[in-house]
Amino acid sequence: MQSAALSLIPGRVPDLPDVVDSFLEELHEQQRTQAAYRSALNRFLNFLKGTPAGVLPLAEIDFATVNDFLRHERASGAKDSTVNHRLAALRSFFRWAGENRLLSEDPSADIDFRPVRDREEAHFLDASELDRLFQTCDRNTSQGKRDYAMLRILADCGLRAAELRELDLEDVDFKRGALFVRNGKGGKQAWVYFNNEQRKRSSTRTAIKEWLAERPICADKDARQPLFVTRNRTRFTNQSIWSLVKEAARQSRLPIEKAERITPHTLRHSYVTRVWEKTGDIALTAKAARHSSPHTTLSIYTHIRDERLKNAAKELWE
C-alpha cells in the first residue's frame, strides 16, 4: 500500500528529498529512530549534492552510489560502527520505498556491514555497590523517594535513560509487576518486570509506591502524565537523569575511579550481568536486555563471554 504522505504528490515521480521526508514522517512516533535516520539520510543527500550528477531520482540510485557514499563516510573519519548505522538507515529507507512501489530493488542489498571490534567492556556494579548508591537517597523526603525509585528502576529493570524518562503513570502495572516500555531502542515495545514483593521495603514495587504517594499533580492535563517529574513538575530530560545518577555516584563513597565511571548505562549493565549470573542462560539474558540476538549481548558484555569460554575450557579437562 502506498504511503499516505506520497499520495499528496500525484501525477509525477517525487523528488528524492520528498521521498525521504515522507519516510521520516511515518517514523514520527519513534523519535530517536527518526532523528538517527534523518541524520544519516541528510548526509546521503548532501553527499549526492556534492557529486557531478547531483541528487539523483530514487530509481537511479545503484550499488555504486551507495558504496561511494559509505566510502566517503569512512574517509571523513566515521567509525565502522557509525558507517554501519548509516547503512542500516539507508536499508530501512530503501525497503520502505520498495513497499511503496517506488523502487524495484534495494541498491544496498549486496553491501555488507563492516566488522566491528568488541566495544569497551561494560562496567557494572555488584549488589553491595548498588546498595551504597541507593543509600544516597533520603527516603524521608519527596525528592529522595523519587530519586530512589528512579535508581531502582534503572538497576532492577535495565531501562535506558531515555526509556525511563518516557515512562507514564499508566505504564506501571503492579498486578503484573511490570513496566511498559512504549518506545525502546529501535522503536521496540516491551513489558519489563520488576521486584514486586510487597513486604520488602527494598523492593522496586515499594520504591515506586512511595514515590506515587508523594508525586505532585501536574498542572498540564495532557493525555500523557509522566511517572517521574522534576521540581518544576515537568518530565525529566536524558541529561537530568544522567546528572541524578552522577550525583548519587559522587555521594556514594565508592572508590573515586569506580564512582567517576558510573552512568545510567552502568546500572543497565549491572542488571544484565545479574540476570546472567542468576540464570547462566545467554538467550534469556539477551531477552532480558531486549537485544535482538545473543550475539549482541556477548559483543557488549565481554566479561560474560569470557566467563563462558573459561567454563567451556574447564569442562574439556573434567
- Render pLDDT for 130-162 as a digit per residue (tens, 0 to 9): 999 999 999 999 999 999 999 999 999 999 999
Beta bridge partners of 193: 178
Angle, alpha carbons 189-163-206 (nearest 5°) = 100
Q: Which of 81, 99, 117 is the last residue of a domain?
A: 99
Average pLDDT across the chain, whole number: 84
* Percent above pLDDT 90 for the chain: 44
143 and 263 share one domain:
yes
**What pLDDT is recorded for position 303?**
67
pLDDT at 54: 85
Q: Within this chain, do residues 139 and 268 fall inside the same structural domain, yes or no?
A: yes
> Do the Cβ atoms of 185 and 169 come closer than 8 Å?
no
The pLDDT value given to residue 76: 92
- Which residue, of 50, 84, 99, is where some domain finishes? 99
The position carrying cell 509487576 is 177
In this prediction, residue 174 carries a pLDDT of 95
Question: Residue 67 maps to which CATH number?
Answer: 1.10.150
Q: Mind listing the pLDDT tens digit for each residue in 293-312?
A: 787 787 677 666 666 556 65
Q: Is 267 exposed, middle or buried (0-12, 13-18, 19+ CB in 10 A)?
A: buried
Same domain as 191, residue 252: yes
pLDDT score, position 308: 59
Predicted confidence band of residue 5 (pLDDT cuts 50, 70, 90):
very low
- Based on the fold, state whether residues 86 and 136 are members of the same structural domain: no
- Give the per-residue pLDDT at 101: 86
The answer to whether position 229 is within a domain reads yes
Predicted pLDDT at 255:
92
Whether residue 110 lies inside any domain: the answer is no
Q: Are 285 and 279 in contact (CB under 8 A)?
A: yes
Q: Say whether both 295 and 146 belong to one domain.
A: yes
| Among the ranges given (18-32, 203-217, 260-274), the one the predictor scored with the smallest mean pLDDT | 18-32
Look at 178-187, 276-285, 304-313 and tell me which has the smallest mean pLDDT. 304-313
pLDDT digits (tens, 9 = 90+) for 242-261: 999 999 999 998 999 889 99
Taking the CB of residue 142, how many other CB atoms lie within 10 A of it? 16
Q: Is residue 105 one of the residues assigned to a domain?
A: no
C-alpha cell at 250: 559522587
Query: Is residue 2 situated within a structural domain?
Result: no
205: domain CATH number? Answer: 1.10.443.10
Let me know whether 149 and 265 are in one domain: yes
Query: Quick check: is 4 in a domain?
Result: no
Report the Cα 217 to chain-centroid distance in Å.
Answer: 29
- pLDDT of the residue at 168: 94
Range of the domain at 27: 9-99
Strand order in the sheet with 172-173: 172-173, 178-181, 190-193
In tens, the pLDDT along 228-242 reads 999 888 899 999 999
* Helices and strands, number each (H, E), in the chain: 14, 3
Residue 109's pLDDT is what?
86
> Which stretches within 126-263 are classed as H helix?
127-134, 142-157, 161-165, 204-214, 238-251, 256-259
Q: Are residues 287 and 177 in the same domain?
A: yes
Question: Do 67 and 140 sit in the same domain of this protein?
Answer: no
Distance of CA 275 to the CA centre of its chain: 19
Question: By three-state DSSP, how is residue 182 classified?
Answer: coil
Residue 235 within any structural domain of the chain: yes
Residues 54 and 191 in one domain: no
**Residue 261 vs residues 123, 147, 257: alpha-carbon distances, Å:** 8, 19, 7
Q: Taking 70 as the threshold, does the pLDDT of residue 4 lie above it? A: no
Q: What is the mean pLDDT of residues 37-52?
A: 91
Position 70 scores a pLDDT of 95
User: Number of structural domains, the chain?
Assistant: 2
Residue whose cell numbers read 563462558: 308
What are the cell numbers at 4? 499516505
Among residues 231, 238, 237, 234, the alpha carbon closest in space to that of 220 is found at 234
In this structure, is residue 70 part of a structural domain?
yes
Cα separation, 147 vs 241, in Å, equals 9
Residue 212 located in a structural domain: yes
Judgement on whether residues 263 and 144 belong to the same structural domain of the protein: yes
Please choose, from the candidates 263, 219, 215, the residue with its C-alpha nearest in 3D space to the C-alpha of residue 242: 263
Question: Is the model's pLDDT at 11 over the cut of 50?
Answer: no
Question: Domain check: are 55 and 136 in the same one?
Answer: no
Same domain, 158 and 257: yes
pLDDT tens-digit profile of 80-130?
A: 878 888 998 898 899 888 888 888 888 998 888 776 654 445 688 999 999
